[in-house]
Homo-oligomer: A and B are copies of this chain.
Amino acid sequence: MDDQTDQTRKPRADALRNRERVLEAAKAVFNAGGPEASLEAVAKRAGVGIGTLYRHFPTREDLFEAVYRREVEQLSELAEQLKTTKDPVDALRRWLRSGVEFVATKKGMVAALALAVQSGSELHAFSFERLTTAIGSLLHRAVAAGEMRADISPEDLLRAFFGMCYMHDQPGWQSSVLRMLDVFVDGLRVQPTAGAKARVAKPAKPAAKRKR
């Protein structure tokens, strides 16, 4: 699978090797020491000079991106699979739960993304877009089926989910977030009784016919 139809020189072997080494080292170091860990430590662990690290990944965020892009994609693909689930509400619920588990496993990711959010980096743009799409497709199904209220955007939901997971370094966070997500999904359901009571929020989305 090498269509190097380009007339460009083949990339040097040592460059590729070093890039890979740095990535591996970064994954290890970030997982151990958080996303603020020293880049010089990463370089040392990778057995390359600091200059090499910076040539491959000019900014810290570039490194994050290379490390975590794949993980975000996994989470996004899971949504795709869940779209085949019968009950759309259940699908959304499952995705959110899987998200929690995901965060629990790859602890580095959330912190990195949180950093990325603040710096407005490329990783943020990519992840946000990708996950919004994922969550959006699940949400939309549920709304279309008349099972969920239509005035909540995927961005809203993602933000809430993400925020909750951000507290992931307190003891017992995981079960806490799971409980909260249940409350959340309950709140998202179309509620005949609650509808009678004064609902303050106004629908931001015009479409979506609620049957029932």
Contacts and interface: CB of A to CB of B under 8 A. Distances in A.
A164 B163 CA distance: 5
B156 A179 contact: yes
Interface string A156-183: 1101101111110110010111111011
B156 A167 contact: no
Contact of A89 (B87, B93, B201, B205): B201
19 contacts: A93-B201, A117-B169, A118-B169, A152-B180, A157-B180, A159-B177, A163-B163, A178-B201, A178-B208, A179-B201, A179-B204, A182-B201, A184-B187, A186-B187, A186-B191, A186-B194, A186-B198, A187-B187, A191-B193
Ranked nearest first, the 4 interchain pairs of A and B with the lowest CB-CB distance are A187-B187, A163-B163, A183-B187, A186-B187
